[in-house]
Amino acid sequence: MKIVYKNPGLERIASVANVILGLVIVTTFVLLYGFDEIPFELSARVLHNLQIIVFLLLLADKAGRFVNAVSKKAFLRAFWYEIPLLLLLLIVVFGVHRWFCVDRPGRAIMFALAVYLVLQVGLRLGRSCVNLAASGQNPAQSLILSFLVLILAGAGVLMLPRAHNLDRMSPVDALFTATSATCVTGLIVKDTGTDFSLGGQITILTLIQLGGLGIVMFGAVIALLLGQALSVRESVAMQDLLSAQTLGRIGRIIGFIFVATLLIEALGAISMVGMWKDVPAAMTERHQQWFSSIFHSISAFCNAGFSLFSRSLMDYADSWRVYGVICPLIVIGGLGFGVLYNLFDVTVDAIRRKIHARHRPLGGYETTSPRKIQLQTKIVLTTSVLLILFGAAILWLFERPMGSYPGHGGVGEAIFQSVTARTAGFNTLDIAAMTDAGKLVLIVLMFIGGSPGSSAGGIKTVTLAVILMTSYASLRKRPHVEIFKRSVPLTVVGRAITVGVLFAAVLLIITLGLCVTEHKNGFGMMDLLFEATSALGTVGLSTGITGSLTTMGKLIIIAAMLVGRLGPLTLLASLTYSIKPAVYEYPSEPLVVG
């Protein structure tokens, strides 16, 4: 919702002042909670007083913008949430001495003020991301910028003394961890469960959630939750981000994504609570079990592969929850929200029609056509099932005779590894101990990845299906590419081939770079190719060489993870955004290929 102001110049000054105040808020929190001892000879009292001053300046800013607004009603509708927030803060301030039994009233007041300031920064940041995406600038560059800012901010937080349990966190290791979490990869150079404190683990979890769904998406969710309707330009920006087909359903799709994410992750966390006591002395405290459940549920659904355990899920290979909870979370998260929304829409429509049919008068009929499963959904579901089954069968055939599944039939482990290899990065067996044949199968699965519209990497399932069906159409001498009795447009075919070629080219460059930087470490070509594919596919599986990489090797993997999360085509689009399509066509001439 855009507010019109009487004096635009004054509003621009207020916007700059808001940015400065936001930076001051962030700085005070970093100094208060990021260090064991507050640096620069400052005291907590000074920083708290500074936060109070910032709070008063924010109130003055709101009052000034209210007076400057042309329509006072429009301003109040846009910032209606400020009133209940201020009321809650005032209740705490005046209630700690009268109505509440609090041992330290001052600390309670400052905590309430801190919550208010954090909400202010979060709301402004979320809305700014949506405005940036709808600014009319290069959308790919806006997406890249949001990821870079999130990664750098996360790396800065992880370097703070209270975020880790080490003597010192190097900038490269912090940047590597932040990139891996934001790009939902799961490759680690520091042990998540032991080298990071609870604050550091929460930071990693936040980066996973924001990076998995996208910070722009969270900004749109915040705007809709606050009752602020998206403008036409903002809706178009979100339509491009979500690859939605109908502009009018953007609000419903965003709402579905938000609710579905919370519901699925909550159900996953609840189902995993009893899992962590299966291993003796693993987690005895109830709050540890709950935090571990929440962490692994979000990590699995966002296809991140981060685990609080040094051996990932190898110690829990006998637990049914690994296959009955974590595995479905990975699959659902890798399908993409477009597919999930289509399945939800079709299901709800079918239920609604059955209810209406029971109460429909005799002779009545349904006036609207039923919702159908889209071609995208059919391709994603079919390709995903085939990849899981074929991957599991090949892994079982190659690894079982070599003893990778000792004492077990190995079917469950093979299915889980086939699922997680395409994007998630958890493992229930030692990857380094696998045969070269098994590693090659995992490399192929990591190269393919998940589905469009998800946080998964790789060339995506739909891209694979289009490329294969293009080859099939050529062999059958058909003029068009056909899938499920539908023709695929030539532009989509060209895009799929471009994605496959670019991904393979980038993978070759990354592997070549690692061969140069790691030649003194003595790593084999299979290990380097595996590491490069895992990073570019945002998977997170490793043969154990990640922590031993040189600084330059880590930087190459960081670049690979970022390219893999954004997609080579997105990066290419950001560079070719201003290039206009040609309005002419050269004469054709036959060629001999193959």
pLDDT, tens digit (0-9, with 9 covering 90-100), for 106-131 = 788 888 888 888 888 887 777 676 66
End-to-end alpha-carbon separation of the chain, Å? 57
Sign, CA torsion 137/141/144/149: negative
CA angle 74, 80, 83 (to 5 degrees): 135
Q: Inform me whether the pLDDT recorded for 33 exceeds 80.
A: yes
Asked if residues 334 and 423 have their Cβ atoms less than 8 Å apart, the reply is yes
Helix (H, G, I), strand (E, B) or coil at 590: coil
- The residue length of the chain stands at 594
Question: Are 463 and 578 within 8 A, CB to CB?
Answer: no
- For residue 486, the cross-strand partners are 483
Q: 411: closest CA among 317, 296, 331, 330?
A: 317
pLDDT band at 280 (very low <50, low <70, confident <90, very high): very low
Tell me the mean pLDDT in the region 409-438. 86
3-state secondary structure of 176: helix
Separation between Cα atoms, residue 265 and residue 299, nearest integer Å: 9
Contacts of 532 (CB under 8 A, 6+ apart): 507, 510, 511, 514, 557, 560
Residue 337 to residue 244: CA distance in whole angstroms: 10
Q: What is the pLDDT of residue 83?
A: 84
pLDDT at residue 407 tops 60: no
Kindly list the domain boundaries of the chain, sorted by start residue.
1-132, 334-356+372-575
Confidence label for 377 from pLDDT (cuts 50, 70 and 90) = very high
Instruction: Classify strands 481-483 and 486-488 as parallel, antiparallel or unpaired.
Output: antiparallel
> Longest C-alpha distance within the chain, in Å?
89
- Residue 80, number of CB atoms within 10 A of its CB: 12
The string of pLDDT tens digits covering residues 189-217 is 999 989 999 999 999 999 999 888 776 66
Query: What type of residue is 366?
Result: E
